[in-house]
Each structure stands twice: as C-alpha cells, then as structure tokens.
C-alpha cells in the first residue's frame, strides 16, 4: 500500500492537527475544465462514467491543474438506480431522465437488489486504477447519492425544483417510500464498502435534495437512512454526510457515526460550529457562484470563511458543485487562497 504524501483531509476528519486547511471542490472533476470538454466532445456521459480509463483521466485532471488536496472519483449518483435495473438517460444540457418511475408495490418488488457490485464493477475498477495512478499524492474520495435524493429521481423521473411527485409519494404511500428507501440504503452500503475495498480513502454521501423536506420530514425520510449508512461504514472508511439545505439537523447529525458534515452556503460558519459543539469536522461552504466574482473578491471571501470556521477540524470546499462556467483560474484562486491562509 503506497503511503499518502498528503493526508491533510484524512487527518482533518480524524480531528488531528493540520498544518493548514485542506481543500477540494465538489464536481472538481469535469465540466469547467477544458481537457474534460475535449473528452465530452468524443464520448457520451455514461461512456465516460463506465470506462475506467476515462473516469480515471477525468478524476486526475483537477489534481494536476487546480492543486486540490483530494481526488473524487468521476462518476454519478444515478449509477445506483441503473444497477437496480432502472433505465437512466442523460441528455447533454438537460440532465437525467428516468422513463420508468416508481409508482407501486410491483415497481419496487421488481428492483434488482443482488449483484449490484458486479453491475457497478466499472466504478470500483476506476477507483483501483485511479488509486494506482495517484501513487499516494492525495487521498481518493468515493461517493454515492443519499437514499432520499435517489428516491426523488426514481419517483419524479427527472430533476425538479420542488420534488412534488416524490413528496406526494412519500406522504400518500409512506410504507412504499420506506421500503424503497431501505432498498436503496442496503445497496448503497454494499456499494460504498466495495468502493473502500477498491481504494477509496473516504466516502461522501450526497443528499442534494434533502432541503426540499421540512425538518420533521427530513427526520422521517432522510436522516434515519443517512445514519444507517454512516453506522454501517464507521469501521470501514470515514464518511462525510452532505444533506444540502438542512442546517437545522446539524446538531443531530454531529452525534452520529459520520466523520464529517458538508455544509451549503446558507449557514454562517460560527453558527455551524455552535450547533455541532465543535465536535465534528465541518466541510464547506463557499457559494459556488462566488467563484465568478473577481479573483481579489474570491480571496477575500475565502479568508472570511476560514476566519469563521477556524483552521482545525475543517475542510474547505464549496457549498455545492462547481458550475460549468467558472474559469479555471478562478477555481485555482480559491484553492490557492485556502492554501495560503495563515501561512
């Protein structure tokens, strides 16, 4: 096993002292990088995801070009529904669509729950290949979508601002919703364990649409499944939970098996520290749109962010994924400003 030359992210997650704040960016591998766009012009989305050599090449691009402290495997959260036998289409510029949505008991009974590891072997192969290519430069992050977010796509059939159909399904057929959430949870646990075996040094669970739920409904339809995943992996690999838009759950989530919590930009760093009693590593929470500001403004905002969080038990990141129209030198300015803080 190659020794890590840069283990800042892992040390921050363990609560150990770090010489400086580690930094990476959600969606750092992909759409804003010119080299990625060249591959995008040649291969369709799922070819890029399902070809380990391509996924590895894309994963490594930001390490060389932006200088982040961790690599995150290039993949997609919707590989889980695919592995369960659900068709997922990806149209460039339009986002995902799932033609056959979950409506009934028979739809849920028909889902494949065995053989997910074999079905997702291309992800674990990409992780193993990336791990070799990284050769210990930085840690490698694996990930999955959270059960609630995956349910949203499987019931809604496409992206949504409000997720009305998904919520209607949960509120009118709660028993079916919990069956589906449990199936997704079981598969996700096995999938993340397989990612750890393949070389992921840590994993993140993206609950992108958790913020569509009220605090009470989050406690019913999202939080229990996030906790199950964190509990199942706690002795396997460090887990960062990122339920976007749920600042109200920070206290509860800080008392789980998770090693870290991702934050969006709608909460002040000091308030997040208070809610979590400084008992867990926090990650975030730069507004991705702010990367479009002039570089001096980016540097100033990074300083304010780290002033708020402090330099320990902290991983600098965005509050959601980087956007396609962010200039590479602005992304690099964000990373450099973190690295230069307090040095």
Model confidence at 216: pLDDT above 80: yes
As a whole number, mean pLDDT of residues 228-240 equals 98
Model confidence at 109: pLDDT above 90: yes
Model confidence at 128: pLDDT above 80: yes
- Note the helical H segments in 141-214: 147-156, 164-172, 174-198
Model confidence at 341: pLDDT above 80: yes
CATH architecture of 21-259: Alpha-Beta Barrel (3.20)
Give the model's confidence band at 343: pLDDT under 50 very low, under 70 low, under 90 confident, else very high. Answer: low
What pLDDT score was predicted for residue 1?
Answer: 65
Distances (CA, A) of 308 to 98, 108, 304: 41, 45, 6
Nearest to 223 by CA among 194, 197, 257: 257
More confident residue, 60 or 115: 60
pLDDT tens profile 319-338: 999 999 999 999 999 999 99
Residues annotated in a binding site for substrate? 27-31, 46, 76, 153, 208, 320
* Rounded Cα gap, residues 233 and 235, in angstroms: 6
Number of Cβ atoms within 10 Å of the Cβ of 277? 11
Model confidence at 342: pLDDT above 80: no
Which H or E run contains 144? strand 140-145
What pLDDT score was predicted for residue 201?
Answer: 98
Take residue 133 and report the two structure tokens written for it.
């290519």
Domain ranges of the chain: 21-259
As a whole number, mean pLDDT of residues 156-171 equals 97
CB 24 within 8 Å of CB 283: no
Residue 233: Cβ-neighbour burial (10 angstroms; 0-12, 13-18, 19+): buried
As a whole number, mean pLDDT of residues 66-95 equals 95
* Rounded Cα gap, residues 61 and 88, in angstroms: 26
* Rounded Cα gap, residues 29 and 92, in angstroms: 17
* Rounded Cα gap, residues 256 and 31, in angstroms: 33
Number of Cβ atoms within 10 Å of the Cβ of 41? 7
Residues annotated in a binding site? 27-31, 46, 76, 153, 208, 320
Cis? peptide before 285, omega within 30° of 0: yes
Distances (CA, A) of 60 to 56, 76, 82, 223, 329: 6, 16, 25, 32, 17
Nearest to 169 by CA among 191, 206, 160: 160
What pLDDT score was predicted for residue 4?
Answer: 96
- With a pLDDT cut of 90, the percent of the chain lying above it is 96
pLDDT tens profile 270-296: 999 999 999 999 999 999 999 999 999
As a whole number, mean pLDDT of residues 86-112 equals 94
């Amino acid at each position: 096993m190659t020794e890590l030359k840069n283990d800042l992210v892992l040390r921050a997650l363990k609560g150990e002292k770090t010489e400086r704040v580690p930094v990476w960016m959600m969606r750092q591998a992909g759409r804003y990088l010119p080299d990625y766009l060249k591959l995008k012009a040649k291969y369709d989305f799922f070819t890029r995801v399902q070809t380990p050599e391509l996924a590895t090449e894309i994963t490594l691009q930001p390490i060389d070009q932006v200088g982040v402290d961790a690599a995150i495997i290039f993949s997609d959260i919707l590989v889980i529904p695919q592995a369960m036998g659900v068709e997922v289409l990806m149209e460039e510029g339009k986002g995902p669509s799932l033609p056959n949505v979950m409506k009934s008991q028979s739809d849920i009974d028909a889902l494949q729950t065995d053989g997910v590891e074999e079905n997702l072997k291309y992800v674990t192969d990409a992780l193993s290949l990336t791990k070799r290519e990284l050769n210990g430069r930085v840690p490698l992050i694996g990930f999955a979508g959270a059960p609630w977010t995956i349910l949203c796509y499987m019931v809604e059939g496409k992206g949504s601002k409000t997720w009305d159909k998904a919520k209607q399904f949960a509120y009118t057929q709660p028993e079916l919703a919990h069956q589906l959430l449990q199936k997704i949870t079981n598969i996700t646990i096995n999938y993340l364990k397989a990612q750890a075996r393949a070389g992921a040094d840590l994993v993140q669970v993206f609950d992108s649409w958790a913020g569509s739920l009220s605090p009470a409904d989050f406690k019913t339809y999202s939080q229990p499944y996030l906790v199950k995943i964190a509990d199942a992996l706690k002795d396997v690999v460090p887990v960062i939970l990122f339920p976007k838009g749920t600042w109200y759950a920070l206290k509860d989530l800080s008392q789980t098996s998770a090693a870290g919590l991702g934050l969006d930009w709608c909460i002040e760093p000091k308030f997040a520290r208070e809610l979590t009693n400084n008992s867990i590593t926090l990650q975030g929470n730069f507004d991705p749109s702010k990367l479009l500001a002039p570089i001096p403004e980016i540097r100033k905002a990074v300083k304010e962010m780290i002033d708020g969080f402090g330099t320990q038990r902290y991983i600098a990141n965005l509050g959601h994924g980087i956007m396609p129209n962010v200039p590479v030198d602005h992304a690099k300015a964000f990373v450099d400003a973190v690295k230069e803080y307090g040095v």
